[in-house]
């Protein structure tokens, strides 16, 4: 479904992705782990079109996407919950969610919103408040919920568990797992490598702009190099 | 070639002065050159646009003198720019004819500076003379806070008592103001007012005139020579402008001037030429530039040389030169060379100018 | 009390002019955080183009329509040719671009048209309407009505429409706006087009009262800016109230205190309001958690 | 050679100031030069306030006005030497900035902009309206600084424009030196820190209110001295010096050249001062071209002329 | 006398009691963690203690001095330092300068002396620079010293904030989710760093959702929910408290932290 070939990207003149090959099949959950600064966020930004690609290609559902402008990618089915949450701080929680479904005006929008509120009841409580006033974790929930409002075929999640209480971390992973049943493909970047690998089908390990290891989630969990570098004791 | 320089407010807040002035100079230079120049030499006109900014005007004066090496300068559309560049022409010994109004330009007399428009003080005197004739003794004033308005207000306050006139209301408005009804309401409410005088130029007086009629004030309204142009009537509207009086020059009444008036010929010639070339009505301000240029050309011809010193002396000796504004006779202690007689009291009737008396 | 009434009417008329300019600022500001200093030039273009189209023989409504459309075109071009290519530049740089644009527009206008002051007739005559001992020109009603209409339109746009929200979202977080599928480039084009239209409309409405010339833009932009800040930048309600208030303060000061210092009084009030309410009267306090 | 380091910047400036006159065909260029230096000085103050501390003022011309009119009025009313008047003006500007800055610096962004704008307009209005004292809108004459006379007595004959070129050049160098000192000093760092994040700056112990005020006062003094120099050089001054347009011009110069760097901002002052002189060849089209140039610079060199060019050059080297 | 004592602290936002009557103590060298569900009021509590929000009720005492509502820069003088959940970086300064700025109180002198570059100013700047380099090394960012701070990845920025907070030589350090955005191994490094700092006598007040980290290093844990303190005690006790499990840990995580 998502096919990334020899992808390169740079900030100014400094190249930070040096040729990434990665693929995600339809309905799969694929996770990317890696140390701080490995380039995971940059990779996702390339996929959602907010970061220029300087080499290689991205294709999605058989179409080349490499240079499609960012705002058109959601229409093609690619949604992202970005690093740093990037919510609309001056708009209300509800407006944030409504904008998540910016492309749609049908009745399903309300239904989706109701579902989002069900998933994160706090958001319902605070629906009319400025999203900027939310706590860190609440903002994270909003970012995830907003991405789901876009009815993605493929969801890109950048550290969705960050800042969430343990009880919610478990819930988020459940939600992600549940997306499979809805036929949503997920590319999951996570620091909580253990959690991520537990629900993923496959995984990639990134180091300084390159994919160094890849394989099925089971293999990776068992891989001593990964235990050593990412799972800790 | 004879190089003549000018720095005028072709743009900016005084562009309606500088624009016709610059156009006039351009036209006249072409004319003179087409007729063979002065003493066989062509005139080269170097024009700069100072946007009414005194600092720029000064810089352009230096540029004209030091870099372009002109022999004389016409310019300073406004008093501020004129005063700013005067030290420069003085130091360099370059004759300079200003087109600005304030009396402070030629009083005290500086050796190299001359000017063509009537002073603001003369305008006050002319207006007060007319008021006196009509038996008016208590007036209200509403003045623009720009250079011209503020300076004329001061002069008027100074000379009012000479004519037995009491200024019992004194209001003002800013250069960009769009509504003067509050000030006029106050004037209207002041007891005993018999007439209102509005020193200022630009859109202000037109708005004052319109507000005046909106408020239904039916006292005589006097404007200054700062708005002496057809444009003013158009802006104020025929109805509102009806009956407004102001001291103006022959230029405005070119068509109704008696044929034997000494200015008739020159005024009509300028008016026709200008309006043909630029397809816009002449204004008094262009007339100031016209006169300045004529004075300068006459002086150069007379001096028979383009030495600045000689030109200056020749200007000072100008006598009986008929211009659009009046007849100029300069002397060592009079660098304006006009008297009140050159001012004509005009009144607006049916959207046109008529001569009072 | 006919004086008070006269001051009030005069203040409201002038205030409505300020409000119209301030309302024009709102959209571009809401889309990009940029105060468009060329907004005054849109007003000027609205007036000047109408003057010349009318002078060329077009009926007034047609002339006004031509002026508004042309100005919209200029606004969109400004966005496409200058703001878009500078995407990602710091806000100050964008502001300087708008200042440059205002100089450019003024410079071109003085060449294309002229440097004289102009006016065209009031829409419905000049006969003063008596009102509780004071008088008011019919055109004032047009101006006030125009300001109210634009206000209502903008208010509905920003609170009731998804597009309005998309505009707000674009300024708040451009990256996120793209991620939810908002074509931020188009939002900017729309904003500049709308702002230009409002500006030009203001020009058409006010010229019979304030007169126009190629350089009236700066003065209007300045007052509109002050009015918008007084009310709280970005909020249509703020623009309307700020504008009207500014006009009334000026008129009252000119009437009761000193006409020389009426602008000063206006700024003193603005300063006083901002000390008490640093976001203006209706400005949203932005909540940024740390 | 690292661009922007203190000593290189000063060296570059000094060399330009010294060498340029060898290419001047007439003394008119000295005048333009000194205007650049005068504007450069004011803009250096803007660098401290806006470039370092991130606070935008749209009213700094007000301080230039105070400095200028101090030189015009103090010799008349207090009988002091014009040179001393410059210092009085600077102190007065500093004091006023101190008083005004306290309340208005609590405001942020455009709100600070409009408040400072109000201040500038108040000063300009006072200068315009109190005509009995200030001479009103038509301006007022300024006493001679007397240095030329002094030099003549000592046997040196210099042209006014050349003398002012040297004087203002020296003042600019001093100003630049001060601003550069500040940049890498604890105060400068704290200013730049509060620009980045006020909350974080406060938690590391920066007294934000006080620091902003210091930057405001310093930049006001820079503007004041620049206004004084203008008045003393022109021997005549009008309220325009305190006007809104002059305030905007200062900010524009700084941003155009690169508000974060002293050299950049001075470069901006040079460009915007010379541009109108150069553009006279376009006659009518002058303003259209000026606006266009400003836009093009900001579109293609968005961080300001100098920093953007430096970046380009650096990029090419790599 | 405790180093930090919080009594009955409370604040409201539009009627919502974000923090309500919360009190606890922190001793020198102690690591106290504040945990609780999202929106429980942890960050708000930090904001009140560090002078960013003005509490509506209650008292904060630092080394015996009442510092309720005191400005952050004054608190910094008293030795209180913090990091932020929502990063507050000096974006356009270099990484090293970010840390040097942390030494503000130590290096800052007189403006005039700075303006004229008097020798004193220059000397202070030099010594501080050396110290900042040491701190950067301590958080593993020495290689990035010259880079513009805005160009660092999220995790790196988190560590930069810690270095900057340490620059103050604080008596008490407030860390708001220092390990967010770090993987398990990186978290362990931070863990060690915190322990080390505490060992030197600095009191640590920590907010963190990584239960492994919290359980491993805390001496004492305060649990908030809906702005109120619902439990308090050592890690053992707290992690077994059913209210805490229900509101915050969830069963899975509770088990996980058992094994930590
Ligand atoms: N805006 C930027 N400008 C310059 N360099 C950047 C920028 N953003 C990121 N980088 C650099 O790109 C590299 C990859 O960063 P990225 O944010 O993609 O890492 P990451 O894997 O997401 O790390 P983390 O786990 O800390 O979020 C890092 O070396 C970082 O310093
Ligand atoms: N400035 C504010 N405006 C409005 N509400 C606020 C504000 N600050 C905090 N709140 C509310 O107070 C509550 C507590 O927020 P706080 O950020 O302290 O939570 P937290 O415990 O730090 O959560 P997290 O673990 O998600 O970071 C939340 O419901 C939040 O919405
Ligand atoms: C009407 C004119 C005499 C005005 C004059 N040019 C001035 O500004 O001083
Ligand atoms: Mg990342
Ligand atoms: Mg928090």
Where are chain A's structural domains? 1-77+153-165+185-233, 86-151
Q: Which regions in chain C score pLDDT beneath 70?
A: 1
d(CA C15, CA D232): 41
pLDDT digits (tens, 9 = 90+) for E181-203: 888 888 888 999 999 999 999 99
D neighbours by CB contacts (3+ pairs under 8 Å): A, B, C, E
Give chain E's length.
260
- Nearest-CA distance A9 → chain E (Å): 14
- Nearest-CA distance C92 → chain A (Å): 21
Domain that includes residue C207, residue range:
22-214
User: Is C276 an interface residue toward A (CB < 8 Å)?
Assistant: no
**C interface mutation test: which of D58, D106, D118, D202 has the most C CBs within 10 A?**
D118
- Nearest-CA distance C235 → chain A (Å): 12
The closest ligand to the CA of B200 turns out to be 3
Q: Do D26 and B66 touch (CB under 8 A)?
A: yes
d(CA E147, CA D21): 40
d(CA C18, CA C43): 11
Q: What is the average per-residue pLDDT within E88-112?
A: 91
Q: What is the average per-residue pLDDT within B325-335?
A: 93
ipTM of the complex: 0.93
Nearest CA to ligand 2 atom 22: E43
Ligand 3 touching residue B325 (CB < 6 A):
no
d(CA D101, CA C275): 12
pLDDT at residue E118 in the model: 86
pLDDT > 70? residue D215: yes
Q: Tell which one of B117, B251, B291, B336 to mutate to probe ligand 3, the residue whose CB is within 8 A of the most ligand atoms.
A: B117
d(CA B232, CA B224): 11
Contacts of C290 in chain E (CB under 8 A): 43, 47, 52, 84-86, 88
Q: Which regions in chain A score pLDDT beneath 70?
A: 232-233
pLDDT digits (tens, 9 = 90+) for E52-69: 999 999 999 999 999 999
DSSP E130-172: HHHHHHHHHTT-GGGTTSBGGGS-HHHHHHHHHHHHHTT--SE
Contacts of C288 in chain E (CB under 8 A): 86
| Cα within 13 Å of Cα(A153), Cβ side | 12
pLDDT at residue D316 in the model: 62
pLDDT at residue E259 in the model: 46
pTM equals 0.94
Domains and CATH numbers, chain E: 1-79+170-260 (3.40.50.300), 89-167 (no CATH)
Q: Which residues of E lie closer than 8 Å to D, measured between beta carbons?
A: 50-52, 71-73, 75-77, 81-82, 84, 88-93, 97-98, 100-102, 104-105, 107-109, 111, 114-117, 121, 124-125, 149, 164-165, 167-168
pLDDT at residue E253 in the model: 55
**Which residue, C224, C238, C250, is CA-closest to C280?**
C238
C neighbours by CB contacts (3+ pairs under 8 Å): A, B, D, E
pLDDT digits (tens, 9 = 90+) for B259-282: 888 999 999 999 999 999 998 888
d(CA C40, CA C98): 11
pLDDT digits (tens, 9 = 90+) for D97-144: 999 999 999 999 899 999 999 999 999 999 999 988 998 888 999 998
Residue C257: how many CB atoms within 10 A of its CB? 12
Output the CA E165–ligand 2 centroid distance in Å: 22
pLDDT digits (tens, 9 = 90+) for D182-202: 998 899 999 999 999 999 999
At residue D153 the predicted structure's pLDDT band, cuts being 50, 70 and 90, is: confident
The residues lining ligand 1, judged by C-beta closer than 6 Å to any ligand atom, are A 11, 16, 34, 36-42, 83; E 150-156, 181
Phi, psi (deg, nearest 5) at residue A120: -125, 85
Domain A1-77+153-165+185-233: which CATH number of 3.40.50.300, 3.30.1330.10, 3.30.1490.100, 3.40.50.2000: 3.40.50.300
Contacts of A50 in chain C (CB under 8 A): 175, 178-179
Domains and CATH numbers, chain D: 27-317 (1.10.3470)
Residue A209 CA, closest ligand 1 atom number: 14
The closest CB to that of E85, out of A11, A133, A136, belongs to A136
C182 within a domain of the structure (yes/no): yes
Output the CA A36–ligand 1 centroid distance in Å: 8
d(CA B165, CA B160): 5
pLDDT > 50? residue D2: no
User: Is B58 an interface residue toward D (CB < 8 Å)?
Assistant: yes
- Nearest-CA distance E238 → chain D (Å): 31
Output the CA A210–ligand 1 centroid distance in Å: 13
pLDDT digits (tens, 9 = 90+) for B79-119: 999 999 999 999 999 999 999 988 889 989 999 999 999 99
Q: Do C210 and B239 touch (CB under 8 A)?
A: no
C169 within a domain of the structure (yes/no): yes
Contacts of C289 in chain E (CB under 8 A): 43, 85-86
Least confident of B196-210, B246-260, C48-62: B246-260
pLDDT at residue B340 in the model: 85
pLDDT > 60? residue B35: yes
Three-state DSSP at B206 gives helix
Residue C200: how many CB atoms within 10 A of its CB? 31
Q: Do C181 and A150 touch (CB under 8 A)?
A: yes
Residue A213: how many CB atoms within 10 A of its CB? 17
| Tokens 């006014």 sit on residue | D160
Total count of domains within chain C = 1
At residue B40 the predicted structure's pLDDT band, cuts being 50, 70 and 90, is: confident
C252 within a domain of the structure (yes/no): no
Q: What is the average per-residue pLDDT within B304-321?
A: 92
Three-state DSSP at B20 gives helix
pLDDT at residue E132 in the model: 94
Percent of chain B at pLDDT > 70 equals 100
C242 within a domain of the structure (yes/no): no
At residue E255 the predicted structure's pLDDT band, cuts being 50, 70 and 90, is: low
Residue partners of E162: CB distance under 8 A and separation at least 6? E83, E139, E175, E178, E190, E193
The residues lining ligand 2, judged by C-beta closer than 6 Å to any ligand atom, are A 133-138, 163; C 287, 289; E 13, 18, 36, 38-44, 85
CB proximity under 8 Å: D 235-294 to C? 244-245, 248, 251-252, 255-256, 259, 284-294
**Which residue, E153, D3, B319, is CA-closest to A83?**
E153
Ligand 3 touching residue B121 (CB < 6 A):
no
Q: Which two tokens stand for residue D8?
A: 């290189």
The closest ligand to the CA of B79 turns out to be 3
Give the CA radius of gyration of chain B: 20
Contacts of E92 in chain C (CB under 8 A): none
pLDDT at residue A233 in the model: 58
Give chain C's length.
290
pLDDT > 60? residue E258: no
pLDDT at residue E14 in the model: 86
Residue partners of E179: CB distance under 8 A and separation at least 6? E158, E186, E187, E190, E191, E208, E210, E213
Nearest CA to ligand 2 atom 7: A133
At residue E260 the predicted structure's pLDDT band, cuts being 50, 70 and 90, is: very low
Of residues D227 and A226, which shows the higher confidence score? D227
Provide the pairing of β-strand B195-198 with B72-75.
Answer: unpaired
Q: Do C117 and B202 touch (CB under 8 A)?
A: yes
Give the C-alpha distances (Å, rounded to integers) separating C120 from C61, C112, E242. Answer: 12, 18, 80
Burial C125-156 (b: 16+ CB within 10 A, else e): ebebeeeeebbbbebbebbbebbeebbeebbe
C255 within a domain of the structure (yes/no): no
Chains A and B touch (3+ CB pairs under 8 A): no
Ligand 3 touching residue B289 (CB < 6 A):
no
Q: Do C7 and B182 touch (CB under 8 A)?
A: yes
pLDDT digits (tens, 9 = 90+) for B55-72: 999 999 999 999 999 999
């Amino acid at each position: 479904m998502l096919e990334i070939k020899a992808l390169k990207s740079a900030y100014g003149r400094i190249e930070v992705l040096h040729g990434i090959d990665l693929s995600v099949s339809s309905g799969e959950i694929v996770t990317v782990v890696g140390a701080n600064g490995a380039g995971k966020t940059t990779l996702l930004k390339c996929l959602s079109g907010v970061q220029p690609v300087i080499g290689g290609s991205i294709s999605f559902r058989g179409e080349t996407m490499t240079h499609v402008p960012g705002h058109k990618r959601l229409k093609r089915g690619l949604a992202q919950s970005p690093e740093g949450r990037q919510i609309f701080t001056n708009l209300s929680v509800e407006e944030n969610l409504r904008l998540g479904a910016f492309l749609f005006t049908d009745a399903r929008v309300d239904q989706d919103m109701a579902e989002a509120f069900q998933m994160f009841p706090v958001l319902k409580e605070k629906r009319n408040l400025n999203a900027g006033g939310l706590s860190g974790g609440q903002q994270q929930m909003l970012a995830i919920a907003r991405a789901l409002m876009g009815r993605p075929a493929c969801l890109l999640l950048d550290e969705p568990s960050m800042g969430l209480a343990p009880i919610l971390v478990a819930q988020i992973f459940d939600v992600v797992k549940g997306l499979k049943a809805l036929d949503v493909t997920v590319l999951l970047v996570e620091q909580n490598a253990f959690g991520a690998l537990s629900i993923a089908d496959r995984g990639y390990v990134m180091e300084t702009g390159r994919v160094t290891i890849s394989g099925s989630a089971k293999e990776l969990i068992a891989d001593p190099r990964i235990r050593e570098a990412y799972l800790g004791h | 070639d004879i190089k003549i320089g000018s720095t005028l407010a072709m743009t900016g807040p005084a562009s309606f002065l500088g624009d016709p002035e610059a156009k006039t100079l351009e036209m006249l230079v072409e004319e003179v050159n087409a007729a063979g120049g002065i003493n066989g030499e062509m005139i080269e006109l170097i024009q700069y646009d100072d946007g009414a900014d005194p600092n720029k005007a000064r810089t352009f004066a230096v540029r004209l003198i030091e870099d372009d090496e002109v022999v004389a300068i016409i310019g300073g559309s406004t008093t501020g720019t004129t005063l700013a560049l005067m030290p420069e022409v003085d130091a360099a010994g370059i004759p300079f004819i200003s087109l600005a109004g304030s009396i402070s330009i030629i009083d005290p007399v500086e050796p190299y500076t001359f000017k063509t428009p009537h002073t603001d003080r003369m305008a006050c005197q002319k207006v007060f003379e007319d008021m006196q004739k009509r038996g008016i003794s208590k007036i209200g004033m509403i003045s623009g806070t720009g250079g011209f308005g503020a300076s004329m207000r001061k002069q008027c306050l100074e000379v009012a008592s000479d004519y037995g006139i009491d200024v019992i209301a004194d209001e003002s408005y800013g250069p960009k103001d769009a509504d003067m009804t509050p000030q006029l309401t106050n004037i209207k409410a002041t007891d005993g007012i018999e007439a209102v005088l509005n020193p200022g130029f630009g859109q202000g007086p037109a708005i004052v005139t319109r507000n005046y009629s909106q408020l239904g004030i039916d006292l005589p309204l006097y404007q200054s020579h700062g708005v002496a142009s057809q444009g003013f009537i158009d802006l104020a509207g025929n109805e509102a402008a009806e009956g407004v009086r102001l001291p103006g020059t022959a230029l405005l009444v070119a068509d109704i001037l008696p044929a034997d008036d000494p200015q008739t010929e020159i005024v009509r010639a300028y008016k026709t030429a200008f309006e043909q070339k630029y397809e816009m009505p002449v204004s008094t301000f262009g007339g100031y530039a016209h006169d300045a240029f004529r004075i300068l050309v006459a002086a150069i011809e007379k001096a028979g040389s383009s030495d600045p010193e000689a030109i200056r002396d020749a200007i000072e000796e100008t006598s009986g030169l008929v211009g659009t504004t009046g007849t100029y006779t300069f002397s060592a202690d009079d660098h304006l060379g006009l008297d009140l007689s050159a001012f004509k009291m005009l009144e607006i009737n049916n959207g046109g100018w008529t001569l009072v008396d | 009390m006919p004086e008070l009434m006269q001051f009030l009417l005069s203040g409201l008329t002038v205030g409505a002019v300020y409000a119209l300019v301030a309302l024009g600022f709102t959209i571009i500001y809401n889309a990009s955080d940029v105060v468009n200093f060329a907004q005054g030039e849109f007003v000027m273009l609205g007036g000047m183009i109408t003057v010349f189209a009318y002078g060329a023989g077009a009926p007034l409504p047609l002339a006004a329509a031509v002026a508004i459309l042309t100005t919209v075109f200029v606004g969109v071009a400004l966005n496409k040719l200058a703001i878009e290519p500078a995407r990602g530049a710091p806000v100050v740089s964008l502001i300087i671009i708008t200042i440059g644009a205002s100089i450019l527009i003024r410079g071109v206008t003085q060449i294309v048209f002229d440097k004289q002051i102009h006016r065209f007739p009031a829409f419905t005559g000049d006969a003063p309407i008596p009102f509780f001992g004071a008088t008011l020109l019919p055109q004032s009603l047009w101006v006030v009505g125009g300001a109210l209409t634009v206000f209502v339109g903008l208010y509905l746009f920003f609170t009731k429409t998804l597009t309005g929200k998309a505009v707000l979202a674009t300024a708040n977080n451009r990256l996120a706006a793209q991620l939810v599928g908002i074509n931020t480039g188009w939002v900017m084009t729309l904003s500049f087009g709308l702002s230009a239209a409002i500006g030009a409309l203001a020009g058409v409405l006010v010229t019979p009262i304030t007169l126009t010339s190629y350089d009236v833009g700066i003065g209007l932009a300045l007052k509109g800016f002050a009015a918008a800040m007084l009310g709280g930048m970005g909020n249509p309600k703020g623009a309307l109230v700020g504008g009207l208030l500014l006009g009334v303060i000026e008129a009252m000061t000119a009437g009761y205190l000193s006409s020389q210092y009426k602008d000063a009084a206006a700024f003193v009030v603005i300063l006083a309001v901002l000390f008490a309410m640093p976001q203006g009267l209706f400005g949203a306090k932005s909540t940024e958690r740390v | 050679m690292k661009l922007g380091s203190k000593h290189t910047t000063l060296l570059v400036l000094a060399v330009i100031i010294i060498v340029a006159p060898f290419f001047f065909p007439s003394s008119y260029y000295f005048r333009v030069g000194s205007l650049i230096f005068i504007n450069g000085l004011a803009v250096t103050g803007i660098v401290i306030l806006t470039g370092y501390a991130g606070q935008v003022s749209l009213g700094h011309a007000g301080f230039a006005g105070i400095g200028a009119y101090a030189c015009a009025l103090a010799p008349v009313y207090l009988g002091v030497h014009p040179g001393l008047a410059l210092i009085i003006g600077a102190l007065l500007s500093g004091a006023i900035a101190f008083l005004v800055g306290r309340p208005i610096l609590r405001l942020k962004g455009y709100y600070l902009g409009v408040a400072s704008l109000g201040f500038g307009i108040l000063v300009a209005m006072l200068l315009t309206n109190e005509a009995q004292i200030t001479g009103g809108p038509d301006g007022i004459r300024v006493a001679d600084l007397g240095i030329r006379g002094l030099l003549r007595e000592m046997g040196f004959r210099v042209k006014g424009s050349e003398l002012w070129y040297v004087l203002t050049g020296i003042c600019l160098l001093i100003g630049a030196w001060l601003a550069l000192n500040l940049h890498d000093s604890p105060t400068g760092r704290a200013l730049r820190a509060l620009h980045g994040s006020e909350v974080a700056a406060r938690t590391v112990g920066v007294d934000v209110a006080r620091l902003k005020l210091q930057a405001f006062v310093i930049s006001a003094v820079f503007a004041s001295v620049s206004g004084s120099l203008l008045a003393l050089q022109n021997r005549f001054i009008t309220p325009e010096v305190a006007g809104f347009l002059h305030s905007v011009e200062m900010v524009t110069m700084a941003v155009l050249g690169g508000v974060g760097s002293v050299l950049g901002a001075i470069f901006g002052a040079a460009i915007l001062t010379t541009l109108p002189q150069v553009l006279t060849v376009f006659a009518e089209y002058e303003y259209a071209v000026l606006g266009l140039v400003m836009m093009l610079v900001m579109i293609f060199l968005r961080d300001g002329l100098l920093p953007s060019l430096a970046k380009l050059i650096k990029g090419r080297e790599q | 006398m405790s180093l930090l004592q919080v009594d009955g602290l409370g604040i409201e936002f539009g009627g919502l009691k974000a923090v309500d009557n919360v009190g606890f103590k922190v001793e020198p060298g102690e690591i106290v963690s504040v945990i609780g569900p999202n929106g429980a009021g942890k960050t708000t509590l930090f904001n009140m203690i560090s002078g960013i929000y003005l509490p509506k009720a209650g008292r904060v005492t630092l080394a015996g001095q009442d510092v309720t509502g005191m400005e952050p820069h004054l608190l910094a003088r008293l030795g209180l330092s913090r990091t932020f959940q929502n990063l507050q970086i000096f974006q356009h300064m270099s990484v090293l300068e970010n840390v040097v700025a942390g030494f503000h109180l130590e290096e800052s002198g007189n403006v005039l002396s700075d303006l004229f570059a008097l020798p004193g100013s220059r000397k202070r700047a030099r010594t501080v620079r050396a110290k900042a380099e040491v701190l950067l090394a301590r958080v593993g960012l020495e290689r990035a010293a010259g880079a513009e701070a805005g160009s660092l990845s999220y995790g790196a920025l988190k560590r930069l904030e810690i270095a900057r907070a340490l620059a103050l030589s604080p008596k008490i350090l407030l860390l708001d989710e220092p390990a967010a955005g770090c993987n398990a191994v990186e978290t362990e490094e931070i863990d060690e760093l915190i322990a080390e700092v505490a060992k030197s006598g600095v009191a640590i007040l920590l907010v963190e959702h990584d239960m492994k980290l919290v359980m491993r290093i805390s001496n004492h844990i305060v649990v908030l929910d809906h702005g109120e303190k619902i439990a308090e005690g050592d890690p053992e006790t707290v992690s077994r408290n059913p209210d805490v499990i229900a509101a915050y840990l969830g069963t899975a995580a509770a088990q996980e932290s058992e094994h930590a």
